[in-house]
Amino acid sequence: MSFIFIFGIAAALAMDCFAVALGSAAGAKGLSMRQAVRMAGFFGGFQFFMPVVGWLAGARLLGLIGDFDHWVAFGLLAAVGGHMIYESFELSEEEKEARPDRTRGKRLLVLSIATSIDSLAVGLSLGVMGASILYPAAVIGLTSFVMTVVGARLGPVVGRLAGRRAELVGGLVLIGIGVKILVEHLGD
């Protein structure tokens, strides 16, 4: 399998990481490099881990989740996006400033899982093709890491351009990604 082919897959998978990081960071006044790297570590780590799990699990896993994996991704992204939209209307600026770090905890874990579900299917596909998994998983994880840092660092710039309702825009972006996943999978 050529590097170009693997990188194409990795770039496609990393686009969700980029968009989620951008949307999540858009509502923040700014993320430090440490916070961006932490988010990228989770996203990239899950993007590495999930193809390996898919490859190891084989067709059995696809049979168990293949019919509804897109609904899980949509549900997770819609829940986090909906919560961001709610907070954009309900929280005062002082309450928003007092929130805990957005690059930690359950929210980061949920987003990491939601952005990596497609990677599970890629790993399964590579297993069915008889391809090795560690090199492609490493390329996928590293590409996702880099794209997440870029999205997280650009998010506050987009947030400043969007103004006061940046968190609303970020929530809509997350829900939009969930809808995109549904449309892609339901169209098959």
pLDDT of 133-187, one tens digit each? 999 999 999 999 999 999 998 888 877 776 656 667 767 877 887 788 788 877 7
Torsion of CA 78, 177, 124, 132, to 10 degrees: -130
Q: Is the pTM of this model over 0.85?
A: no
**Count of domains for the chain:** 1
pLDDT at 188: 63
Residue in this structure with the two tokens 């609904």, named with its chain if needed: 71
**Residues 32-89: pLDDT tens digits?**
889 899 999 999 999 999 999 988 886 565 566 667 767 877 777 777 778 777 777 7
For residue 43, the enclosing domain spans 3-186
Of residues 173 and 5, more confidence is placed in 5
